[in-house]
Amino acid sequence: MSEFQNIGLIGRTESDSAVISLRRLIAFLEGEGFSIVLESETAEAVLGHEARVSSRERLGQLCDLVIVVGGDGSLLSAARALAKFSVPLLGINRGRLGFLTDITPDQIEQKVGEVLAGKYMAESRFLLDMSVTRNGKAVGAGSALNDIVLHPGEFIRMIEFELYIDGQFVYTQRSDGLILSTPTGSTAYALSGGGPIMHPKLDAVVLVPLNPHTLTSRPIVVEGSSEFKLIIGKQNITKPYVTCDGHEQLTTEPGDVVRVHKKPHRLTLIHPIGHNFYETCRSKLGWLN
């Protein structure tokens, strides 16, 4: 008997191709006798099913495995909601790059079947927690599997901030912002900003300046358990934004303090047997074979 009996499904509902793959996945799972729980928004996009329906967070309590049908963004969103429940995630790619969602639509029956039969690789990834305080009072918080980004928001204007790591002053920087990225996010926005690619097993965070005014300001890789503090400069004309995985967003005020640290809960990603990080880089980033 499979260790995964109750299977949660989350789909990219605005994508017709993802809905087609969801229907195919549901038919396969029902045929194999598994119990299916559909996330509520996903259920609205897939009519005619007889599966249980649940809120996204409730899936973490009801399911042994959650399968995400969509792109990396869909999996990032699921990870933020479900990491605290320790339920593993498996991704079927209906997006573009697919660094995290590594099963192709034509492999659904074969690869999902193998995973459910116990033939899989499990990988642990950490997330980042972020909080913003103003005059000592909390004004917002968020979490990210890829990155926390400080940026100017609506206006293209340099911002000034101070950076502290583990209580030690690093620098005052004027730039378009700063990316604080996990190894998972090192192949995303941080890569386009000139940051290094980090292997997912690394316990590290990379800080990538966005168009810094000082040309000697370069990416820094530090220990993953570090505590980061950003103090928004009081001379800023614009009000910088802080975003989590490009999704959750907060507007800061001059003098606000942004704190970032590793989330206590880790995410388990499930991959089919044979998953290879370097092969993924070759195929997704166009490296030569």
The first and second tokens of residue 43, run together, are: 């259920």
Domain-located, residue 272: no
* pLDDT, tens digit (0-9, with 9 covering 90-100), for 139-198: 999 999 999 999 998 777 899 999 999 999 999 999 999 999 999 999 999 999 999 999
Q: Let me know whether 148 and 231 are in one domain.
A: yes
Q: Which CATH number goes with the domain that contains 27?
A: 3.40.50.10330
The CATH number of whichever domain residue 244 belongs to comes to 2.60.200.30
Q: Which residues are catalytic?
A: 72
Mean pLDDT of the chain: 94
Find residue 206's DSSP bridge partners.
181, 221
Task: Say if residue 96 is in the same domain as residue 150.
Answer: no
pLDDT at 31: 94
Quote the CA–CA distance of 224 and 232 in Å, as a whole number: 23
Q: Are residues 40 and 113 in the same domain?
A: yes
* 273 domain-assigned: no
The pLDDT, as a whole number, for residue 276 is 93
pLDDT score recorded for residue 55: 93
Residue 70 lies in a domain: yes
Q: For residue range 55-65, what is the model confidence (pLDDT) as tens digits? A: 998 999 999 99
Residues 160 and 205 in one domain: yes
Whole-number Cα distances in Å, 157 to 148, 178, 239, 255: 19, 14, 10, 18
pLDDT at 268: 97
pLDDT on residue 152: 92
Cβ neighbors of 148 (< 8 A, separation 6 or more) are 128, 130, 142, 179, 180, 242, 243, 244, 260
For 84-119, the DSSP string reads: GGT--EEEEE-SSS-SS--B-GGGIIIIIHHHHTT-
- Residue pair 189/147 in contact (Cβ under 8 Å)? The answer is yes
| pLDDT 10s digits, 255-271 | 999 999 999 999 999 99
Give me the domain span that covers residue 207.
128-264
Could you tell me if 48 and 173 lie in one domain?
A: no
Residue at 91: amino acid letter: G
The answer as to whether 289 is a domain residue is no
| Arithmetic mean of pLDDT, 222-248 | 94
* 277, part of any domain: no
Tally of domains within the chain: 2
244 and 144 fall within a common domain: yes
